[in-house]
Structure 1
Amino acid sequence: MTTRSILITGCSSGIGLAAARGLRSDGWRVFAACRQEADAERLRQEGLEGIRLDYDDAESIASAVAHVTDATGGRLDALFNNGAFALPGALEDLPTDGLRAIFETNVFGWHELTRQVIPIMRAQGSGRILNCSSVLGLVPMKWRGAYVSTKFALEGMTDVLRLEMRDTPIRVVLIEPGPITSNIRVNSIPHFERWIDWEASPRADQYRETLLKRLYESRGKDTFELPPEAVVKAVRRALSARNPAPRYAVTVPTKAMGVLRRILPGRALDRIISRG
């Protein structure tokens, strides 16, 4: 049998790295993409097929897809869109250019890569596209408006793509993690410092009391936090199922919020979320 191939983005750490390692151990040919060439080289030294792919750079996306298809003879069995970043801060303090920047990476880049992969999967007569969303693609949380916006957009885009692909052999799936051990909080600090002038905000005291402590102070794991390998289990299920589910929820908060948003009135759900 031909070795199955998958392109995974955001593999420098966290979910992407765990998925790359886990699927390689399962026998997949894994193309592990990172935004920085130094991270891709580190993965190559580990024995993974590390490649550079920057969602903000259309040329790097095209180059990565060409590299994969050249290496596989034109095949790509699966794509796992995973790379993303967070930009914390109150929406009233977020410059619109900051919102554009996070959408460029977290939404538009995913769309560009997916569009380039679909013709490959159509030609070979099969394919899986997995998009990594979040519990914040289901419900909002304060201070996370930029990231929430991108994940809500991703949920809608993925749902529509799944419907549109029903008449093809391509299956489209949402992976919905909740609190997962990763570097996303630390990695968000440069974006926060670039875009949010919190000291000039009418919410400056709230920043000091809440968000700054969360960003800059060591605080251990969140409640219900799981290791990234928990997400890899869901990825395996989505890839191996003959008829995969539209979405796979990971962690207790994601599963609970998926239920609560369907059964509770808006104000009641707002009260519950605000306590968190």
Structure 2
Amino acid sequence: MTSTVLITGCSTGIGYACAHALAKKGFDVIASCRKKEDVARLNAEGLNCIQLDLADTDSILAAVEEVRTHTGGKLYGLFNNGAYGQPGALEDLPTDALRKQFETNFFGWHTLTQAVIPMMMANGKGRIVQNSSVLGFIALKFRGAYNASKFAVEGWTDTLRLELKGTPIQISLIEPGPIDSRFRANALDAFLRAINLNTSRFKKDYLAQQSRLESEHSTNKYTLPSEAIIAPLLHALTAPNAKIRYRVTKPTHYMAICKRLLPASMLDRLLAKGG
């Protein structure tokens, strides 16, 4: 029987690449996007795509009902991927901007995951894969909202893994570093909506960050294409014993070692150079 996998955030980037790749591998993919025009575009490309806005509980629950109908209540996999970055120093970020970050990056994931777990339990098997980040275990300045949301995802996932022990459901984290996608463009939009450059003591830093976000492609030499997530996702979905964490890109591996070995003060000095 073909395994059905629901993927969020499929309009571009990682979700888009993984949805097409899994469909080619024979999975019954249910892709999802926030905007109707993206849903129509992906359906025209041959994917089964539904509308799902992670910041809207009604939209999430309606999408789950579509999934239930499509699968007969037998969903196998969930790839929580949809997210965005809200740049800005924490002292400059309006609380509402932080709330919006968490609605999409964390609370929406919780609502969706909570809604599909009963289907997986009834199915007698299931895989939940969380697309976290290197910024889920190390912090960088001006990334506080995103850091906080991904740290929350990591702690939430570790807890759920303990609670799922003894059930037929496995849960894994993928922790990418720099990936070439529309993430920067979306982050720039969020940055311009929430931050007033002219009133901040970080104006010079913000201008440099804005220039970086406006670039079409990352200048980080370790940046990998979105397709780099396909292999770890496939392993997490198909291996008899999925890994707890899949670290993708050299910076993620490097930072994991630094986090484990360096004193906090030394790690701070290293991370302070970023931004």
- RMSD of aligned alpha carbons: 1.1
After superposition, residues 74-113 of structure 1 pair within 5 angstroms as: 74-113=73-112
Shift of 1:175: 0.7
Q: TM-score, normalised by structure 1?
A: 0.97
After superposition, residues 189-208 of structure 1 pair within 5 angstroms as: 189-208=188-207
Please identify, of 184-193 and 7-16, the stretch whose mean Cα deviation from structure 2 is larger: 184-193
Structure 1 residues 29, 224: closer, same or farther in 2, change over 3 A?
Answer: same
Percent identity for Structure 1 against Structure 2: 50
Equivalent position SS for 1:222: coil
Q: Which residue of 2 aligns with 1:260?
A: 258
Aligned: 1:224 with 2:252? no
Shift of 1:215: 2.0
Deviations 1:209-259 (A, max 9, x none): x21221234564422001111111110111111011111100111011111
The code of the aligned residue for 1:86 comes to: G
Separation of aligned partners in 1, 2:219 and 2:234: 25
Deviations 1:150-179 (A, max 9, x none): 000000000000010002111111011111
The answer to whether the 8 A contact 1:143-1:211 is kept is: no
Aligned: 1:251 with 2:241? no
Please identify, of 107-116 and 185-194, the stretch whose mean Cα deviation from structure 2 is larger: 185-194
Separation of aligned partners in 2, 1:122 and 1:8: 19
Q: Which residue of 2 aligns with 1:149?
A: 148
Equivalent position SS for 2:164: helix
After superposition, residues 167-186 of structure 1 pair within 5 angstroms as: 167-186=166-185
Count of matched residue pairs? 274
Shift of 1:274: 2.1
Separation of aligned partners in 1, 2:221 and 2:92: 28
Which runs of 5 or more residues in structure 2 are unaligned?
none
Which runs of 5 or more residues in structure 1 are unaligned?
none
Separation of aligned partners in 1, 2:36 and 2:271: 39
Shift of 1:97: 1.1
